[in-house]
Amino acid sequence: MNVIIHKPLSEGELEVVPSKSITHRALIAAALATGRSIIKRPLESEDTEATIQMLRALGVSITKTEEGLVVESNGIQKPSEVLFANESGSSLRFLVPVALLAESEVTFDGKPGLRKRPISEYLRVFDQMGIEYQQFGENLPLKIKGKMVPGEYRISGHISSQFVTGLLYALPLLNGDSKLLLDTPLESKDYVDMTISIQNQFGVKIIPIDQGYFIPGNQKYVKNTYEVSGDFSQAAFHIIAGILGANLRLTKLEENTHQADEKVLDFVRKMGGNIKFENGVIEPKSSKTYGSTIDLSQSPDIGPIMAVLCALSDGTSYIINASRLRIKESDRITAITTELKKLGAKISETKDGMIIEGVKKFKSNMNLYSWNDHRIVMALAIAAIRTDGPIRITGAEAINKSYPTFFEDYVKLKGVISYE
Ligand SMILES: O=C(O)C1=C[C@@H](OP(=O)(O)O)[C@@H](O)[C@H](O)C1
Ligand SMILES: C=C(OP(=O)(O)O)C(=O)O
């Protein structure tokens, strides 16, 4: 699908879509609880669908109802099929330890993009636990067989926090205490805090310790009714659209839901952006912004849209500590640098970030490419606010991964687009 943006979004009120990270987590906690849980206002997207399908294959009943997703579980069962994570790193990495609870052979696979993303930290844990594994490609397909045992495990904290989340889900259910120790500093820590907070709400306790976590064993997840709040990773696109001139009001956002990308508020304010956030409503105001140093170690997903804002801010910006952007759906450093250059941005790559010299406006009539990455498509669609003619984004269907209604919302906010 190609999208041509004839006129950028410009004004209106938007109910921010539910959080992808929270939806995955609530579904998994509910699947590990005995009985009937309800996940209200879940995100519907390809990634959350991957988690649903994988949990169903593990014997969990998940039904879409008017109230939300009804999850009924009686424990994790031997899977009936290959667990296919599509392109969702979260679904894969969260569910590897969970699937091992079935104590049988399980095979994981995903689309080519996911097959390239690292799974290394689990192989370290399998070696420590005595779990057998076989890989039939770079990382996936991955066949595993064995029984998780409580103990002390070491992994790196800088490759992906998703390994920590996956282990924290499964370890409390084992018949003894465990320790998870990180031998490099944890990046994306807020995501792990979100995991622990959601586990707490389903009755499970995790205790942070020096360099890691203590996980008491013999715990039980307790069924719950849980409502998903708005997604800061997606609101970030509209917040920056507002700073660049659109007149927007964003609702359904909650403070303190441990969303790493809430950091967009600090980054933008530090650059001179004026954002009002009260009672779950964000109103970004059109502002003049200045170059800054943006450290993405804790909130990688807002990298592409921060690059757009930096490219349109006065002076020089340095995006740093962003090496993990290279192991997402695309190499996001190369992808956003290449596409913004086509628009006339003064941007160059470093090993783990970007250096950006601000310009006043972008060029138009350009053919841009998605790199099969939802966050690149959405960042470019917002960049259109500062072009004075149309742009075309090819491969725009990548938005389905996390925000299938992105362009419907774009049109509600008075953007004019056509599809080809
Ligand atoms: O736990 C999560 O929900 C996520 C963690 C982050 O990954 P890393 O920890 O690999 O940076 C983030 O990029 C991803 O989109 C979602
Ligand atoms: C990287 C992302 O997700 P995941 O790691 O779950 O594929 C994302 O949503 O930007």
Residue 120 assigned ligand-binding role: no
* Residue 219 predicted with pLDDT over 90: yes
Residue 160 assigned ligand-binding role: yes
The domain total for the chain is 2
Segment 65-101, tens digit of pLDDT: 999 999 999 999 999 899 999 999 999 999 999 999 9
Residues 219 and 242 reside in one and the same domain: no
Alpha helices, H only, 202-320: 232-243, 264-270, 303-311
pLDDT given for residue 80 in this prediction = 83
Backbone angles phi, psi at 278, to 5 degrees: -145, 135
Query: Sorting pLDDT into bands at 50, 70 and 90, what band is 6?
Result: very high
Indicate whether this model's pTM tops 0.90: yes
Residues 7 and 49 reside in one and the same domain: no
Distance from C-alpha of 101 to C-alpha of 287, rounded to nearest angstrom: 51
* Residue 47 predicted with pLDDT over 90: yes
CA of 160 relative to ligand 1 center, distance in Å = 7
Pick the last residue of a domain from 173, 207, 227. 227
The interface predicted TM-score (ipTM) is 0.99
Residues 40 and 143 reside in one and the same domain: yes
Residues 344 and 412 reside in one and the same domain: yes
CA of 196 relative to ligand 1 center, distance in Å = 14
Collapsing DSSP to helix, strand or coil, 199 comes out as helix
Pick the last residue of a domain from 206, 227, 248. 227
Strand partners, 179: 152, 214
Residues 181 and 305 reside in one and the same domain: no
Pocket (CB within 6 angstroms of ligand 2): 47, 88-90, 301, 328-329, 375, 402
Segment 163-194, tens digit of pLDDT: 999 999 999 999 999 999 999 999 999 999 99
Residue with tokens 């700073």: 243
Mutate to test the pocket of ligand 2, among 20, 96, 231, 329 (most ligand atoms within 8 A of CB): 329
- Answer for the pair 187, 157: CB distance below 8 angstroms, yes or no: yes
Residues 271 and 196 reside in one and the same domain: no
CATH number for the domain spanning 64: value is 3.65.10.10
- Which structural domain, as residue segments, surrounds residue 142? 20-227
pLDDT given for residue 297 in this prediction = 97
Q: Average the pLDDT over 24-44 and give the result.
A: 98
The answer to whether the CB of 324 is under 6 A from ligand 1 is yes
The yes-or-no answer on residue 373 being catalytic is no
Q: Where are the beta strands (DSSP E) in 217-352?
A: 221-222, 225-227, 247-251, 274-278, 281-285, 293-295, 316-320, 346-350
Residues 147 and 286 reside in one and the same domain: no
Residues 169 and 264 reside in one and the same domain: no
Residues 8 and 26 reside in one and the same domain: no
The answer to whether the CB of 234 is under 6 A from ligand 1 is no
Q: Where are the beta strands (DSSP E) in 218-263?
A: 221-222, 225-227, 247-251
3-state helix, strand, coil in the chain (%, to 5): 35, 25, 35
Residues 249 and 359 reside in one and the same domain: yes
Active-site entry in 47, 109, 190, 301: 301
pLDDT given for residue 366 in this prediction = 83
Segment 353-407, tens digit of pLDDT: 999 999 999 998 889 999 999 999 999 999 999 998 999 999 999 999 999 999 9
